[in-house]
Amino acid sequence: MGRTLHQAQTRAQWLKHHAKELGFTSVGISRVRKLDEEAPRLEAWLKQDMHGEMAYMEGNFEKRLDPRKLLPGTQTVVSLLFNYHNPTLSSDPEAPRIAQYALGEDYHFVLKWKLKELLKWMKRDWGDVSGRVFVDSAPIMERAWAAKSGLGWIGKNSLLLNKQRGSYFFLAEMLLDVDIEPDAPATDHCGSCTRCIDACPTDAIVKPYVVDGSKCISYFTIELRGAIPEPVQGHMEDWMFGCDICQEVCPWNRHSTPTTEPRFSPHPRLLDMTKADWLDLTEDVFKEVFKDSAVKRTGLAGLTRNIAFLQSGEVGHKKAPPGSGEA
């Protein structure tokens, strides 16, 4: 028993040290179990159609609750944070905006490579270990696991918040078939603050800790394939891909520091583009600027749709949110 415990502790120390060598800012460890307490919340969210057209959210319900259905034999869930904060602003204050996470290279590829390296090192140093790595690529309740492993708490804007690092970070996971000493869960530190709720221009945060995904600017600009609903016009706050409003107003992000990962730096041309450049965006420029970017997900057609929608709804800045009853 003592030897097994010592081995689990040693593995935890090894894992956190080597993950930081690869640039991960924090690592949290949980023993695997079924997340029964998450089931009612997920079911209610889906029944209220808060996932909009994101049909993939309806599938793999049991897998979302129990990682052992993704990797039989899993004993440990490892959650990792990677800072992407890039507060550099466009040279043109009137240019449409892109969420910070998408300013650099596509995080799926950058982080997946790092996770595979970490797993390779584990096999080299630990011997017989099997696992799978994920970066927003499988039905895993990543924020719930990160909170259980002490990396932060799920805030009123539904994002993971960390007292030292705010929320500008990617989440990644490893499922492993070995026992590793777990960390203690984090506690909630949102208190009475409602800044994210008050700031959301589309009222997507319908109540504390519940975000109606089908009302979120990120949904409209990335996930939605058809036309953006007319009532949203004038409420997009210049966001053409994603949205950071609920992060920008969060007090915990005063602790955020810029990323040190070069691959998450914006393309040199990106921040120099003016509003006029975006309105005249061509396929050649799109391919150059977003060659390795997550923005490719929406494609040129989707991005130009978003830009045109912003332009047609331009009435200065923030109006009354849709459904508020104000003129």
pLDDT tens-place string over residues 236-270: 999 999 999 999 999 999 989 999 999 999 998 99
H or E stretch at 239: strand 239-241
pTM over 0.95: no
C-alpha 51/C-alpha 154 separation (Å) is: 18
Return the pLDDT at 315: 46
To 10 degrees, the CA torsion angle through 160, 166, 168, 174? -50
Instruction: Tell me: pLDDT of 6 over 80.
Output: no
Q: Which of 136, 179, 183, 203 is catalytic?
A: 136
| pLDDT averaged over every residue in the chain | 93
Contact 288, 269 (CB under 8 A): yes
**What's the rounded Cα separation, in Å, for the pair 134 and 152?**
19
Residues 15-33: tens digit of each pLDDT: 999 999 999 999 999 999 9
Whether 293 has a pLDDT exceeding 90, the answer reads yes
Give the start-to-end residue ranges of the domains of the chain.
1-327
Ranking 80-84, 150-154, 195-199, 267-271 by mean pLDDT, the lowest is 267-271
Q: Report helix, strand or coil for 160.
A: strand
85-140 tens-digit pLDDT: 999 889 999 999 999 999 999 999 999 999 999 999 999 999 989 999 999 989 99
Helix (H) or strand (E) holding 28: strand 26-31
Q: Where are the alpha helices (DSSP H) in the chain?
A: 2-21, 39-47, 61-65, 107-126, 142-148, 195-199, 217-218, 245-248, 275-279, 283-289, 299-312
Quick one: which of 316, 41, 53, 32 has its CA closest to 201? 316
Residue 284 has a CB neighbour count (10 Å cut-off) of: 9
Rounded distance between C-alpha atoms, residue 305 and residue 119, angstroms:
41
The reply to whether 49 belongs to the active site is no
